[in-house]
Amino acid sequence: MTNKHFKYKERLRSFRYAFRGIGILIQSQHNAWIHAFATMAVIMAGMLWGISKGEWIGIILAIVVVWVAEALNTAFEFLADAAIPSFHPLVKNAKDIAAGAVLLAVIGAVAIGVMIFGPHLAETIKAIR
């Protein structure tokens, strides 16, 4: 076990790497653009309808789960492509499973969104009529 001392410069550098990774994710993945649009739309809807603190917690957790799933899927795809650049059926299966994990996260986020925003939308429609 090495005895490494805490160094602020190294901690700051790790944040720079993390932000660089988020930039690569957004620049390289079209689905991340969709997630970014959906994130902004949901945040605006939450502000418009003045959702509660508890509802914000659900929305924030749903957003974070989708973004984390997309980031891990992207990292996995980059690693798989670097390890085995040519087609391999097991790599294809692993990539499909990782993409499926993102889809599951999105389905869960949509369900949370419907549960939270559905009543607000219904009230808005009722008020318009």
Check pLDDT > 60 for residue 1.
Answer: no
Give residue limits of the domains in the chain: 8-128
Binned at pLDDT 50, 70 and 90, residue 129 comes out as confident
Binned at pLDDT 50, 70 and 90, residue 3 comes out as low
Average pLDDT, rounded, for the chain: 95
Burial class (CB in 10 A: 0-12, 13-18, 19+), 49: middle
Q: What is the reported pTM?
A: 0.89
Q: Which residues are catalytic?
A: 70
In words, the CATH class of domain 8-128 is mainly alpha
Provide the pLDDT for residue 93: 97
Dump pLDDT digits (tens) for 23-77: 999 999 999 999 999 999 999 999 999 999 999 999 999 999 999 999 999 999 9
